[in-house]
Amino acid sequence: MVAKPLLLINYTRYSAAAVVAEARMVKNSLTSHDHFPPPWPGYVMSLEEVGQKADALEGLDREVKNRNFSKVAERDNCSQVLKDGLQGIGQYISMACEGDVTKLQGTGYRIRPESKKPAPKKAIEVPVAALSHAKGTGCFDCKVLLPPGAKSFEWQITHGNPDVEADWPEPNRSVVTTFQIPGVTPGVRYYVRARSLSATGFSAWSVPVGLMAL
């Protein structure tokens, strides 16, 4: 994953006048800067050249505004060269600061705001299921204690192996936390589990509780 640059150095939508202002601010700010003294690498535009290009661009932009449209292409080319130079300087000092963003303060460049990491989602609490014998035979009483924030829940019952996911049938959804489960066979051990549902999704399944039907 490519890291985002430390500085805001995209000048695509900048007018010629805005590029001139940006260039002069960078030149004045980086002159005698404590952390980025010259000489710079040859591929980086010098501050002297930044000043010269800014003066030239200002003159060409003035001529175009005075309706000398023959200078439009020259002005636009000069503007692009200066934009590329400012980007190159920004990339160089971003690398030269070695990750210390405080060194980029006072350079005339705008520092990219630190992106806020999304807060981790809070785990949804697991409900507690309880199983007991109902009056008569072939029926259980079930009670599900829901955690705060849960609006409803799903529950399952199986007489298979509770550790085998395939032995659990399709879940039943409910908002009633105390209910009966009819149709159980006496002498057979059953297991019940539940999971809560909140605005952020489902919790994990609760630990299965087992009881032999009477």
Contact at 8 Å (CB) between 192 and 155?
A: yes
- Specify if 63 maps to a domain: yes
Could you tell me the CATH number of the domain that includes residue 171? 2.60.40.10
Q: Which residues pair with 143 in a beta bridge?
A: 130, 178
Average pLDDT of 140-156? 91
- Which H or E element spans position 52? helix 47-65
Beta strands in 14-147 (DSSP E): 110-111, 128-133, 139-145
- Specify if 99 maps to a domain: yes
Kindly report the average pLDDT of the chain as a whole number: 91
Reported confidence tier of residue 5, pLDDT bands at 50, 70, 90: low
Confidence (pTM): 0.55
Domain termination residue (choose one: 111, 143, 165): 111
Residue 86 has a CB neighbour count (10 Å cut-off) of 26
Query: Which sign, positive or negative, has the C-alpha torsion 157, 160, 164, 167?
Result: negative
pLDDT surpasses 70 at 3: no
Q: pLDDT tens for residues 106-136?
A: 999 999 887 777 777 777 889 999 999 998 7
Task: Indicate if 133 and 103 belong to the same structural domain.
Answer: no
Q: Could you give the angle at the alpha carbon of 103 between the alpha carbons of 97 and 109, nearest 5°?
A: 95
pLDDT surpasses 70 at 97: yes
pLDDT surpasses 60 at 166: yes
3-state secondary structure of 56: helix
Task: Indicate if 59 and 134 belong to the same structural domain.
Answer: no
Cα of first residue to Cα of last residue in the chain, in angstroms, is 61
Which residue reads 């697991």 in tokens?
A: 126
Q: pLDDT tens for residues 172-194?
A: 999 999 999 999 999 999 999 99
Spell out the residues 6+ positions from residue 140 whose beta carbon is closer than 8 angstroms to its own: 131, 132, 133, 134, 180, 181, 184, 190, 192, 211, 213
Task: Indicate if 107 and 11 belong to the same structural domain.
Answer: yes
pLDDT surpasses 50 at 212: yes
